[in-house]
Structure 1
Amino acid sequence: MKLMNDVIQTSYHITYSDYTSEPEPEIVLIGTAHVSHKSVEEVKEVISREHPDVIAIELCPGRYAALKGKTNDVSAKDILSSGNITLFLVHSLLAYTQNKIGSEMDVKPGSEMIAAIDAAEELGIEIALVDRDIQVTLQRFIGRMGFVEKMKMLGALAGMLFGFGGKEIDMERITEEDIVTQLIAELKEFSPTTASVLIEERDAFIAKNLLDLKEKGKVVAIVGAGHRHGITEYLEHPEKLPDINKLLEIPKKRFSVGKIIGVALILLVLATFAVIITNVSLDQFLVAFGWWFIINGTLSGLGALIARGHPYSVLTAFGVAWLTSLNPMMAAGWFAGAVEAKMRKPSPHDIHEIANAESLHEMMNNNLFRVILVAALTNLGSIVGTFIGAYVVLQVSGIDIETIRAGVMSVFGSL
């Protein structure tokens, strides 16, 4: 297979030949920034000049529908019950950041994609959506993260939302790579291997779809500039492409080290209370339980308060945290989020408004986003409270780990 590159600004002409008498299919790869006037003009110019048979766009059906102003109705209950709170927050942050940058640069995010779609519809050219579903990308990213990495990411997201400890977006880099690539690159700080794998996966997925399209004739492909190098590499050496079906698999929930530590901590606290009941006075037990209740409740309630939750949501977080911290199948954020949803009554329209938010004020006034943020920060506070509470309970009870271990072993020995 032969490859030619003819650089014209940021577009690349890639001609493939399999040494047959058939016409050589051609792929014109345009690397764009998703918030750039220059990219919009270049897309129009290249399509007008090349007269392609297919226009391939770095979009999945979901992102395409969003650009066309169509969004699926998602309720707060669905998000809370599915356990995809972190996924929703990351997705919302991507949309918010892109809109914020677009506002500062006076260009609507995805304008070059819209220009390509409009040109295709006007000229009657087939549109091909060649990117992987953004939900799959984010689920694979988050699914491969460990407990500590997720906690770091949640803390950083809170910092970016509330203006502490967050990085400013490098506006110069926006002209060189698309926002999804840049945001995932920022997340490398929390999970370097995972983030880099997911960037390469999208490159491979897009390249495979472009190769499948070459039978239809000339293809003009509009992709983020940050993907251009990786896609070109796979187009040049298709034998390096991984099994695409595996890139669509959602990682199964694993019993990670973080979960093992969490379960062990809960068992430790339960064992401590059991030893306290059998070895110390009722007053000492009540003191230990009181500290457990107050620490867990205060930190969970603080999380809901930071998220600007309704007073009833804060009280709910405070009241249930002591119990949910003892049960790995429950989470304080679920209860606080449910109360917040009941008080704010988010509508299907809110999901569309999140995608179009251009300021933190708009995000925080969105009922659906507020519900999810309350749930997320309540859970974060509960996790911190569990660790601190376990330490304090051990200290105030005056019982050492060896005594607890002996008690647990005797229980298992009697079974």
Structure 2
Amino acid sequence: MSLTEITELPSSALDGQPIERIERDGVEYVVLGTAHVSLTSVQAVQALLEQETFDAVAVELCDSRAQGMRDPEAFKQMDLLQVIRQGKVGMVAASLVLSTFQKRLADQHGIEPGAEMKAAMEGGATRNLPVWLIDREVGTTLRRAWHSVGFWKRFGLMAGLMASVFEREAIDEKEIEKLKEGDMLESAFSEFASESAPLYRSLIAERDSFMAARLREHAERAGFGSGRKVLVVIGAGHLKGMGEQLRHQQEDPILTAAELAKAPPKSRWPKWVALGVVIAIFAAIAFAFHKNTALGADALRNWVLFTGGLSALGAILAGGHPLSVVAAFVAGPIKPFRPGIPSGGISAMVEAWIRKPRVADFESLRDDITHWSGWWKNRVARTLLNFFLVCTGTIVGEYSAGFHILKSLM
């Protein structure tokens, strides 16, 4: 449903709506808690803008999500090669998973999730009011959530997210009510967020603090003081937490927001473990050559065949072009010697270069990835699949090669 179609507001548009009025540093913040899939929330936003006078409008959006709402076609300009080079494949894949969840909601309820945020931005722009984007970048939130859980829990997280992509059943009323009271990100990860305090902290609590700090920061920069009023539109799940932070937060808002906006430090131990395994394997190969040249040659051959062969198998399973398969076979064995782009990245770049995604692939991407066959039919999805399967093949190949090499020395 287009927002322009909502022409008449019911007189009861604000009845029962969760609204809090918070005064901080002389500024009155009118905080409206919304449901991300509710026409009522859209009407409540519009009613507040019509009935009261505001000096600014703040919304629970980051720059990238706001840009996506303003220009839904922008993602079609995505440079897939740049995404692979910059190591953002995982973030793009996670964003696609979230978008399929949102699409199911839109198809089921006839209104795009976040329509009330768009109504607030449009209403502010129409009245020539500054629009403040106060949420943390979604990529940073996803990275912090990912790093907040243990290594093994990440596999369950990935499996759950992928299963949600292929879900065919309508989202039941229980989940819809939870979404109306909660947050889009929390709902998408609901099964895991409810069981993991670190995950909940990354998805919800940190953003409560971040948004409160951003409100204070914007107000300071705008020189707002006594008599100024700001409309704040956030998901109802943030109403209590963000409200408490806005009332009582004492830290410098700029420093607080900057600290919470930091990408999490990368864990070093998985790299050290992987490096240790590779060093052990190559030490075994060197020892094999020391014992017997033929034995060493066999060990080196096993390394190439297992790492290159299983990497190439990953590209084949992804439906990769023959040159992508060759690239995977070459990149697999030399992975320890080039710590930059992974073997899956090299194969995926070859795939994207030879089979350049078409506009139609971007247009149908969200629909295609909800079907198993779509991952092979859509060129964007197939390139992402190539990346993940080749990387997986390389890792399995390394451990398989190590096992056979060590076995040959015993």
TM-score (norm 1): 0.78
Helix, strand or coil: the match of 2:333?
Answer: helix
Give the Cα separation in 1 of the matches to 2:351 and 2:192: 29
The equivalent of 1:27 in structure 2 is: 29
The equivalent of 2:207 in structure 1 is: 202
The equivalent of 2:285 in structure 1 is: 273
The equivalent of 2:71 in structure 1 is: 69
Q: Structure 2 stretches of 5 or more lacking a match?
A: 1-13
CA deviations over 1:131-183 (Å, ceiling 9, x no partner): 1222333344446666555555555555545679xx99944422222322323
Give the Cα separation in 2 of the matches to 1:290 and 1:228: 61
Match of 2:93 among 86, 89, 93: 89
Judged with a 3 Å threshold, the aligned counterparts in structure 2 of structure 1 residues 145 and 342 are, in CA distance, closer, same or farther, namely: farther
- What RMSD in Å do the two structures reach over aligned CA positions? 3.5
Give the Cα separation in 2 of the matches to 1:246 and 1:69: 29
The equivalent of 2:133 in structure 1 is: 129
Give the Cα separation in 2 of the matches to 1:306 and 1:158: 18
Q: Displacement of 1:266 after TM fit? A: 0.4
The equivalent of 2:404 in structure 1 is: 392
Q: Displacement of 1:359 after TM fit? A: 5.7
Q: Displacement of 1:244 after TM fit? A: 2.0
Judged with a 3 Å threshold, the aligned counterparts in structure 2 of structure 1 residues 36 and 84 are, in CA distance, closer, same or farther, namely: same
The equivalent of 1:360 in structure 2 is: 370
Which deviates further from its counterpart, 137-146 or 36-45?
137-146
Give the Cα separation in 2 of the matches to 1:11 and 1:175: 11
Helix, strand or coil: the match of 2:250?
Answer: helix
Give the Cα separation in 1 of the matches to 2:244 and 2:78: 38
- Structure 2 letter corresponding to 1:124: N
Q: Structure 1 stretches of 5 or more lacking a match?
A: 1-6, 19-23, 400-415
- Contact preservation (8 Å) 2:144, 2:202: no
What are the residue-to-residue correspondences of 1:1-400 with 2, within 5 Å? 9-16=16-23, 25-69=27-71, 71=74, 73-142=77-146, 148=152, 153-161=157-165, 170-186=175-191, 188=193, 193=198, 196-211=201-216, 212-213=218-219, 215=225, 217-239=228-250, 243-254=256-267, 256-280=268-292, 282=294, 284-324=295-335, 328-346=339-357, 354=365, 357=367, 360-361=370-371, 364=375, 365-395=377-407, 397-399=408-410
Q: Displacement of 1:271 after TM fit? A: 0.6
Helix, strand or coil: the match of 2:100?
Answer: helix
- Contact preservation (8 Å) 1:184, 1:195: no
- Structure 2 letter corresponding to 1:176: E
Give the Cα separation in 2 of the matches to 1:186 and 1:304: 32
Q: Displacement of 1:52 after TM fit? A: 2.6
- Contact preservation (8 Å) 1:58, 1:224: yes
Judged with a 3 Å threshold, the aligned counterparts in structure 2 of structure 1 residues 190 and 375 are, in CA distance, closer, same or farther, namely: farther
CA deviations over 1:59-84 (Å, ceiling 9, x no partner): 12221111111637431221111122
Give the Cα separation in 2 of the matches to 1:307 and 1:228: 44
- Structure 1 letter corresponding to 2:28: E
- Contact preservation (8 Å) 2:192, 2:199: no
Give the Cα separation in 1 of the matches to 2:200 and 2:358: 33
CA deviations over 1:16-45 (Å, ceiling 9, x no partner): 276xxxxx6322222223222232223223
Helix, strand or coil: the match of 1:132?
Answer: coil
Q: Displacement of 1:203 after TM fit? A: 1.0
Which deviates further from its counterpart, 27-36 or 42-51?
42-51
Give the Cα separation in 2 of the matches to 1:373 and 1:78: 16
- Structure 2 letter corresponding to 1:14: R
- Contact preservation (8 Å) 1:292, 1:389: yes
- Structure 2 letter corresponding to 1:394: L
CA deviations over 1:86-114 (Å, ceiling 9, x no partner): 12211222222212222222222321122
Give the Cα separation in 1 of the matches to 2:341 and 2:67: 35
Give the Cα separation in 1 of the matches to 2:22 and 2:247: 10
- Structure 2 letter corresponding to 1:360: T
Which deviates further from its counterpart, 130-139 or 154-163?
154-163
Give the Cα separation in 2 of the matches to 1:89 and 1:141: 15
- Contact preservation (8 Å) 1:296, 1:382: yes
Give the Cα separation in 2 of the matches to 1:75 and 1:321: 25
Give the Cα separation in 1 of the matches to 2:167 and 2:323: 26
- Contact preservation (8 Å) 1:103, 1:358: no
Judged with a 3 Å threshold, the aligned counterparts in structure 2 of structure 1 residues 15 and 201 are, in CA distance, closer, same or farther, namely: closer
Give the Cα separation in 2 of the matches to 1:324 and 1:138: 27
